[in-house]
Structure 1
Amino acid sequence: MDHGMEDYVVLESRRINGHDIRLYAIFDGHLGRDVAKYLHSHLFDKMLSQSDFWRNPEGAIKRAYKEMDDEILEDVAGSRGGSTAVTAILIDRKKLMVANVGDSRAILCGGDGVKQVTIDHEPNKEKQVVESRGGFVSKKPVNVPRVDGQLAMTRAFGDGKLKEHITSEPDVRIEIIEPNTVEFIILASDGLWKYGMHACMQVMSNEEAFDEIRE
């Protein structure tokens, strides 16, 4: 079924408690755009409104992701449809908070080259986690590892039919940006890094993406 474009992008500036806040995100939907669209409209507000965001950002972000997934499963997607997410919050151009579920990716680019600050949540990497939750990983029918033979990632928002075997818990990374060390940040869905149905095939490496944008 052709669902059309299912990706949503955030590029936003806010002023909160005297701080300069920059918000960036990629939401890559699958089996429909509803989940990605909902994340686009609500996820950052959910994170920033956590009462302990400023003193415990990692815990606040993880809790916000969980609360958002619960809302999606109850009111938006039900048992069908989902989305990956990679979000970045830059505070005063000094502190960067990156979180992700799924196979969208964030890399830091600077004079020392590239640094990937997210983890691709792929079934071949987290097979034991899936199996511990009662699921399985299969490469049939298209020779790409998939959870229960259906989903090519182990973490995502939505996907209610698979929720017992996958999770929406993000990996969270907090980086202190030293002066003149980072030129730019790349956030991109798997469409930049991998090729469609053959998701094990690389399209562009982190270094190649860095070189292309830098030039």
Structure 2
Amino acid sequence: MASREILHKMKHDFWTETESAVKRAYIETDDKILEQALILGRGGSTAVTAILIDGQKLVVANVGDSRAVICENGKAKQLSIDHEPSKEKKSIEKRGGFVSNIPGDVPRVDGQLAVARAFGDKSLKMHLSSEPDVFEVEIDQHTEFLILASDGIWKVMSNQEAVDSIRQIKDAQAAAKHLIEDAISKKSKDDISCIVVKFQ
């Protein structure tokens, strides 16, 4: 199939079979990262993405513990699943891996990774998944904003605390900066990445 035809098919699939198109994009992204493992290194990454279709349908996908939280009428609603090893123990063991549970530490895949799904991590890949969970929600007049953030935010504040922290800030970039500073002030020791999307 010519590259133009492949691109046309991908666009068509996105509009007609959004969930499967997003899942395929995540798998293909993981494949590209693994191909570059010698250059990029052995590590990996979590991810959360959001796509707004026609200003009405929000499609959220994630692997790992990066999280999407939406604010509707001041209430926080989580739109993603944190992929914790303890929750996916059976599927990890089915792939030949194990989940450690050492007192004082979080559960880890093969005693190393604290998430059950991720991009990269070539040395653990046979025991990990890079297939995202995908959720669709309707955006309406009650939808105020969306937070997309890594676990450095969520380790130190609840979904509602994050929403309350920035609800009165009108500018999205200023809101994201405030949320990062709030997490740092709460002594977050994990990586912090954050995007805030405001809806009209």
TM-score (structure 1 length as normaliser) = 0.69
Give the aligned partner of residue 28 of structure 1.
none
Q: How many angstroms does 1:158 deviate by? A: 0.4
Check conservation: 1:156, 1:167, Cα contact below 8 A: yes
Aligned pairs, number? 160
Check conservation: 1:127, 1:136, Cα contact below 8 A: yes
Check conservation: 1:84, 1:104, Cα contact below 8 A: yes
Give the aligned partner of residue 166 of structure 1.
128
Amino acid in structure 2 at the alignment position of 1:66: I
Give the aligned partner of residue 150 of structure 1.
112
Against the structure 1 CA distance between its residues 119 and 107, is the aligned structure 2 distance closer, same or farther, given a 3 Å change threshold? Answer: same
- 2:72 maps to which of 101, 106, 110: 110
Q: How many angstroms does 1:139 deviate by? A: 3.0
Task: For 1:1-215, list aligned pairs within 5 A.
Answer: 49-76=10-37, 80-111=42-73, 113-140=75-102, 143-178=105-140, 180-194=141-155, 203-215=156-168
Larger C-alpha radius of gyration, 1 or 2? 2
Deviations 1:110-148 (A, max 9, x none): 216111110000111111111111111113485111100
Check conservation: 1:50, 1:64, Cα contact below 8 A: no
Amino acid in structure 2 at the alignment position of 1:206: N
Q: Which runs of 5+ in 1 are unaligned?
A: 1-45, 195-202
Amino acid in structure 2 at the alignment position of 1:57: T
Q: Which runs of 5+ in 2 are unaligned?
A: 1-6, 169-200
Deviations 1:181-206 (A, max 9, x none): 21000111000011xxxxxxxx1000
CA RMSD of aligned residues (A): 2.1
Check conservation: 2:74, 2:167, Cα contact below 8 A: no
Q: How many angstroms does 1:156 deviate by? A: 0.3
Deviations 1:15-68 (A, max 9, x none): xxxxxxxxxxxxxxxxxxxxxxxxxxxxxxx9x955411111100010111111
CA distance in 1, matches of 2:84, 2:167: 28
Identity percentage over the alignment?
A: 62
CA distance in 1, matches of 2:27, 2:86: 24
Check conservation: 1:79, 1:161, Cα contact below 8 A: no
CA distance in 2, matches of 1:76, 1:161: 10
CA distance in 2, matches of 1:129, 1:98: 23
